[in-house]
Amino acid sequence: MIKKEDARVLRTKKAIEEATISLLTAQPDFSITTLLNRAQVTRGTFYKYYQNKEHLISEVNNSLLLEFTQHIQGHFRVAKMVQAISARAAFYNAVLNLHSDGIYFATLMSRMRTQMLTQLTSIEDEARHRKMVYQWEAVIGAFWALISKWLLENMDLDQTALLQEFSDILRVNTTAATQTGLNLFDFEVNS
């Protein structure tokens, strides 16, 4: 039988996780004491749920990865990815532009590559498979570069304009995309 956590435990863990995200964004070398003050929990409560700071960061990263990777199942839904990044803009800016949590980004890219390779399993032609992998790498690199710049510029474009700029940069042609790595991406705003 699976034991459910009660609402107080969930609220406490959520407060700790949100404080951790905030601190990872502003001061990645934060102390446990700083975290406890920010989350308004006791040291005993913290150690009841987490072994140490590294365990906590691992759990937070896992939660953030799950939050993001739901948007890459099946197709890389670009609009949903941008929305997820926008919702955690300060964190992603710190990760991408200040290199505050390299483990998170490396793990995210690994999961994204795994998803891409899963999508390409039906392609038997090795040359076409390799070409699509390279194209995916180029597109995802362009995506993260554009997101990084967008965050640095305080998200001065609305999400629709950002998606249009991304499509323009890639010269997305939906009829030609079926034969390229672009078919792994969904560029629709309302998907």
Radius of gyration in angstroms for the set of CA atoms belonging to the chain, rounded to a whole number:
19
Residue 117 to residue 104: CA distance in whole angstroms: 20
Residues 115 and 154 in one domain: yes
Same domain, 113 and 157: yes
Total number of domains in the chain: 2
CA atoms within 13 A on the CB side of 74: 7
Report pLDDT for 28.
Answer: 85
User: What single string gives the DSSP state of each residue in 127-141?
Assistant: HHHHHHHHHHHHHHH
Together in a domain, 179 and 118: yes
Regions of the chain where pLDDT drops below 70:
1-5, 171-179, 191
DSSP 189: T
Q: What confidence score (pLDDT) does residue 31 get? A: 95
Residues 78 and 26 in one domain: no
Q: Tell me, what amino acid is at 63?
A: S
Evaluate if pTM is beyond 0.95.
Answer: no
Residues 69 and 106 both lie in one domain: yes
Angle at 17 between CA 114 and CA 158, to 5 degrees: 65
Residue 83's pLDDT is what? Answer: 93
Question: Do 10 and 84 fall into the same domain?
Answer: no
Range 135-140 contact pairs with CB under 8 angstroms and sequence separation of 24 or more: 135/180, 135/181, 135/182, 136/181, 136/184, 137/181, 138/181, 139/170, 139/181, 139/182, 139/184, 139/185, 140/76, 140/109, 140/112, 140/116
Residues 87 and 165 in one domain: yes
End-to-end CA distance of the chain: 37
Q: Confirm whether 55 is domain-assigned.
A: no
